Structure 1
Amino acid sequence: MFMGEYQHSIDAKGRMIVPAKFRESLGEHFVITRGLDQCIFGYPMDEWRKLEDKLKDLPMTKKDARAFARFFFSGATEVEVDKQGRINIPSTLIGYANLEKECVILGVSSKIEIWAKESWQQYFEQSAESFDEIAENLIGFDF
């Protein structure tokens, strides 16, 4: 399980250090793709395969299912962690998530998320204002 928030930077070549606490669970190779809310999702290979199986079960006769599968799979790429603990993020994903210099890497249960620092701060502030309401709307969830 991934949890926590870490700040790292991305260099001009698109390389970013993966937090040491995440590296073992992610493995030497893992998949990154476009996520929701303009961030990048990162999945260990076993979690990626589970997600891939779920997406394969979507009814491709439905326009929304086709659109989501295209969005998700077209941005996916397998990355390798180098000896310095870095991955190389493709320019298409850097552009999608508006990554510039400062990044925030989040552990979110079975995946990681990579955010532009400013985007994360804005999202967090907006969500924090309605956190109580969001929690109330999650049926059957108790802390």
Structure 2
Amino acid sequence: MAFFTSEYECKLDAKGRLVLPARIKASLPETSGGELVVRRGFEPCLVVYPFTEYKKIYSKIASLNEFNEEYRKLQRNFFRGNTQVELDNNGRFLIPKTMLRYASLDKDVIVVGMGNRIEIWNPETYEEYLIQDQSEFSKLAEKYLTE
């Protein structure tokens, strides 16, 4: 199982390639063989899964009943634009232009380890989605971590 943590300030090259931070790369499961899946996040960011982790989510969503309209909407919106990429010898992968636009990614990006996945953010947008009030953070932690 993959386990990604921490935040990393990174840069995209002129072609839209991202070099994965060494710690992230070292945490990739060997069974994924450098294959990743990039998808649009629910927030304006990109979500990157090692292929083995993505297959778990794929199985859940693909197994939903295609005759149910709500399920089809979920499937259509979840799978649209998902892109399978492979790390090159330098630990880089190319982010498709449509995804760069979706997440407003330019040169500077923030890569965030989120347990079984990685998020890629525009730094300014990322700040907008972080909790600024520490007491709110504390209340959320109490609500979800002390059950």
Q: TM-score per shorter chain, which class? A: 0.7 to 0.9
Give the superposition deviation at 1:5. 0.6
Q: CA deviation at 1:41?
A: 0.7
Say how many residue pairs are matched.
Answer: 141
The residue type equivalent to 2:27 in the other structure is S
* Alignment match, 1:28: 34
Distance (whole Å) between structure 1 residues aligned to residue 45 and residue 133 of structure 2? 15
Q: TM-score, normalised by structure 2?
A: 0.84
Identity of aligned residues (%): 37
Q: Which amino acid aligns with 1:49?
A: K
Query: Given that residues 8 and 110 in structure 2 are in contact (C-alpha distance below 8 angstroms), is that contact kept between their aligned partners in structure 1?
Result: yes
Classify 1:127/1:91 alpha carbon distance in 2 versus 1 (closer, same or farther; 3 Å).
farther
Q: Distance in 2 between matches of 1:76 and 1:135?
A: 31
**1:1-143 matched pairs, under 5 angstroms:** 1-26=3-28, 27-126=33-132, 130-138=136-144, 141-142=145-146
Return the letter of the residue paired with 1:4: S
Deviation at 1:132, TM superposition (A): 2.8
Structure 2: stretches of 5+ with no match in the other structure: none
Output one character per residue of 1:14-43: Cα deviation in whole Å (capped at 9) or x when no partner.
111111111133341111111111111111
The SS at the match of 1:23 is helix
Conservation of the 8 A alpha-carbon contact between 2:131 and 2:137: no
RMSD: 2.1
Query: 1 or 2, which has the higher strand percentage?
Result: 1
Q: Is the 8 A contact 2:39 2:83 kept in 1?
A: yes
Structure 1: gaps spanning 5 or more residues:
none
Please give the TM-score of this superposition, normalised by the length of structure 1: 0.86
